[in-house]
Amino acid sequence: MDKEKITRSSGNIFADLDLPNPKELDLKAQVAFLISQMINRQNLSQSAAALKLGIAQPDVSRILRGRLDGYSLERLLTFVQGLGSDVELSIKPAKKNAKGRILTKMSA
């Protein structure tokens, strides 16, 4: 019987799939998840969220389904602000032997 090969994840599915810009894709996905949580916590319909964000309801639906092509990280962060949260970015030198990681700490 053949044994199945198991490969340990790197922690970034986009890197594991060898997609271009995996760090950015991962960060955008995390922000989209946060947007989804904020919409749910505020009990907003997609239409109500669209009004708050200044976009069409189908665009909200795309974001909630993880269809993030066409949305920059900056634009996604403006949606976080539109839902009532502040955005704070912190840039610091990488630790020795680190390869410019993107560390995230998100809460709403």
CATH for the 21-82 domain, from 1.10.260.40, 3.40.50.620, 3.40.50.2300, 3.40.50.720: 1.10.260.40
Distance (Å, whole) CA 91 – CA 101:
11
pLDDT at 104: 60
- Kindly report, residue by residue over 9-56, the tens digit of the pLDDT: 888 888 888 888 888 999 999 999 999 999 999 999 999 999 999 999
Query: What are the counts of helices (DSSP H) followed by strands (DSSP E) for the chain?
Result: 5, 0
Over the stretch 63-104, which tens digit does the pLDDT of each residue have?
A: 999 999 999 999 999 999 999 999 888 777 877 766 665 556
40 secondary structure, DSSP code: H
d(CA 15, CA 10): 7
| Cα gap 25→30, rounded to integer Å | 9
Compute CA 53 distance to the chain's CA centroid, rounded to the nearest angstrom.
16
Long-range contacts of 53-62 (CB under 8 A, 24+ apart): 53/79, 53/82, 53/83, 54/82, 55/79
Q: What is the pTM of this model?
A: 0.78
